[in-house]
Amino acid sequence: MNLWNPEHRLVLASGSATRRALLAGAGLPFETAKPDVDERAVEAATPDALARALAVAKALDVSIHKPDAWVIGADQVLSLDGRLIHKSRDHAAALATLAALSGRTHRLTSAFALARNGAVVAKESEHADLTMRALDEAALGRYLDLAGEGVLASVGVYQWEGFGAHLFERVEGDHSTILGLPMLKLLAALRAVGALTL
């Protein structure tokens, strides 16, 4: 018996290796397509609403070009005291972001949207609260040297599944939410549309 209903086709509207690994780890057969969405042009009143709006925009953009496929759009935003933090463009900006997060609790909000034939059929979000250890500039600089330039692709300048784990003293939230895709809610949505058999 197959986990996935072979009558359905699944597309991940993302270039994220971490999201691909989450879907593959759950045994889902999927293909990928990178959405063409200007993320800075999408606006919303709250971090939660922004994460969902970005996920919807990505799912719809790819769904139009992949008829009859279930398309997953996903996004994650980081907020500190309700203020959005954006990706760092260089080492200096990364150091400034880490210094702002040091010793404090920030929130990661991850969202997905499931679309088919240009219409959204499900959208959900989940959040995790992460408390970073209080680290001085020298320690943060050492971390950046160890982690490498790849962390600039992450909004919080860390990858929880790698060197980033060393930065934290407390985490509250689901592991997949921290990685950028709330899997339990996504799997529930896929079951609801008949794409999953388990």
Q: Which tokens hold the place of 115?
A: 């679309």
Q: Whose CA is closest to 12, among 75, 95, 74?
A: 74
Which entry of 48, 61, 68, 75 is annotated as an active-site residue? 75
CA distance 36 to 142: 35
Nearest 10 degrees: Cα torsion 55, 192, 70, 23 = 70
Is 61 one of the catalytic residues?
A: no
Q: How large is the C-alpha radius of gyration of the chain?
A: 17
State the DSSP H helix or E strand holding residue 122, giving kind and residue range, or none if neither: strand 119-132
Q: Please identify every residue annotated as catalytic.
A: 75
